[in-house]
Structure 1
Amino acid sequence: MHVLKLEINNYRHMKDLSRRSITGVVYVVLMLAGAAFHPLLFAVVFGTFLYLTQLEFYQLLEKAGSAPRKTAGLALGLLFFIICFGMVNNLLPAKSYLIFIPALTFIFLFEAFSEKSGILQNSAVTFTGFVYVAVPFSLLNFMVHPGYPNYPVFNAKILIGVFFIVWVYDSMAYMAGSMFGKHKIHKKISPNKSWEGLIAGTVFALLTGILNSVIFQHPSVLNWLAISVIVVLFGTLGDLFESIIKRRLNVKDSGTILPGHGGLLDRFDSLLFVIPVVYVWLDFTGNL
């Protein structure tokens, strides 16, 4: 009987591992295809990711008893992404983002004319979903058009390099933490995160940054090392931020859309914090 149970557990483990691997491959392929091939494919892939991730965030908040204006928040998120896409592809004037300012007031107008209670709270959580999810995704438009506005040519090398660093950091931190992790970063918030995993992930993130400078030739190796440090610091903060949200809501995963991986928010938690900071660094250093 014991042998039978062991075999069943091994079968389930292998099945889960296989499902997780297949999902991971599909996820990576979609990310790379969306970033590498064509602006329209980029818009479809990352616009869809934006919508589903922001929706997932609002659904998490609903479980906590909040009442975000999902329709208004999602519409504003997609609108901002589309405006940024139109600007970098010369489909819209450079100051088209100003359209978004009056559009933003609709969140508060919806609440003002609503019979629901908690106007300020509902508006705040709706706006939080926009800032947390839609803004980072929309900034990707500028990262794949590094010459905008002077030379708005689609070039996703920097973005793909950032993806590489994030994926290597997350993978190596997870593997090292699983095998050697004894000292937890924060037992209550994220008990699976260890200092050993963080150190290993940092080393491999820096090595990936150096490799990126060789593969892509631009920006400089110092800039890639700086981006690697940003990924380590803000990727970890992004992961901890989502862990805090899930722990307070008493949920394991943000969703079930990715078999074996949970939700999209679970996969993008690091990038949502990393992308804005990397964008600011690249802009300030003249690499965009």
Structure 2
Amino acid sequence: VMAYVFGFFFGKTPLIKLSPKKTWEGFIGGGISTVIFGVLMSYFMCQYPYFVCPIEYSESLERMSMDCEPSVMFRPAEYTPPETIRKVFMFLHLCPIITIPPFVLHSLALSIFSSVIGPFGGFFASGFKRAFKIKDFGDIIPGHGGIMDRFDCQFLMATFVNVYITSFIRTDSPQKLLSQALYLKPEQQLQLFHMLKESLENRNIL
């Protein structure tokens, strides 16, 4: 949306021949806006249990509740920036330690990718349409084409988000491991139990 706004009001320099209406002004303005909005919105969401706590039934309250201890992903953590940035902070008399929830950093990474790489999904779709000499993938939205024309960038983003979450965010927990163990056959569950017990005893944990 912001790329369209910046391109509409300030766009003068064509970005790529595959998409004649896209401009550098829209690309840069949309990218900066996406990063700023992503960081601010993610920080705002971390402040409220409504956004970070699952809705679960509370037996004590006898109703659905969202009261929980937020995951470490949403709790503030301290980070030490690189030496160059620390010097800048110290020169400006600012604290060289940054305290923000990890979720904000993940949001920053996703925002940067969606700003820089995400639009190439649209470029690919434009090239595909030009190769087959069609203007739009459909006509369900008057003046805008079809659903694919509006979500051409989302396929690239969806793939990246899935890989990113799997690689950097999703972690195993006792609950997840237990749910997986319950799918095993009884004899396999016993084998797993004895192996885990032996491992804990060897490390003097039991």
With normalisation by structure 1, the TM-score equals 0.38
Match of 1:225 among 108, 133, 149: 108
CA-CA distance at 1:191 after TM superposition:
0.7
Equivalence for 1:182:
12
Give the letter for the 2:120 counterpart: L
Q: Write the deviation string for residues 87-123 of structure 1: whole angstroms up to 9, x where unpaired.
A: xxxxxxxxxxxxxxxxxxxxxxxxxxxxxxxxxxxxx
Retained in 2: the 8 A contact 1:183–1:194?
yes
Equivalence for 1:244:
127
Q: Tell me, which stretches of 5 or more residues in structure 2 are unaligned?
A: 47-73, 75-101, 172-206
Retained in 2: the 8 A contact 1:254–1:262?
yes
CA-CA distance at 1:287 after TM superposition:
4.0
Q: Write the deviation string for residues 128-167 of structure 1: whole angstroms up to 9, x where unpaired.
A: xxxxxxxxxxxxxxxxxxxxxxxxxxxxxxxxxxxxxxxx
Cα distance in 1 for residues equivalent to 2:148 and 2:123: 12
Q: Write the deviation string for residues 173-203 of structure 1: whole angstroms up to 9, x where unpaired.
A: 112112211221112x111111111110011
Q: Write the deviation string for residues 62-102 of structure 1: whole angstroms up to 9, x where unpaired.
A: xxxxxxxxxxxxxxxxxxxxxxxxxxxxxxxxxxxxxxxxx
Retained in 2: the 8 A contact 1:238–1:270?
yes
Cα distance in 2 for residues equivalent to 1:287 and 1:205: 24
Cα distance in 2 for residues equivalent to 1:277 and 1:233: 13
CA-CA distance at 1:216 after TM superposition:
2.7
Query: Which secondary structure does the structure 1 equivalent of 2:22 belong to?
Result: strand
Root mean square deviation, CA, Å = 1.6
Equivalence for 1:30:
none
Structure number with greater CO (CA < 8 Å, separation at least 6) is: 1
Correspondence list, 1:1-288, <5 A: 171-187=1-17, 189-217=18-46, 218=74, 220-287=103-170
Retained in 1: the 8 A contact 2:35–2:115?
no
Retained in 1: the 8 A contact 2:31–2:116?
no
Retained in 2: the 8 A contact 1:254–1:265?
yes
Give the letter for the 1:195 counterpart: W
Q: Tell me, which stretches of 5 or more residues in structure 1 are unaligned?
A: 1-170
The structure with the largest strand share of the pair is: 2
CA-CA distance at 1:260 after TM superposition:
3.0
Retained in 2: the 8 A contact 1:173–1:198?
yes
Cα distance in 1 for residues equivalent to 2:24 and 2:116: 13
Retained in 1: the 8 A contact 2:15–2:23?
yes
Give the letter for the 1:229 counterpart: I
With normalisation by structure 2, the TM-score equals 0.53
The structure with the largest helix share of the pair is: 1
The 3 A distance-change label for structure 1 pair 238 and 276 is same
Q: Write the deviation string for residues 31-89 of structure 1: whole angstroms up to 9, x where unpaired.
A: xxxxxxxxxxxxxxxxxxxxxxxxxxxxxxxxxxxxxxxxxxxxxxxxxxxxxxxxxxx
Q: How many residues are paired up?
A: 117
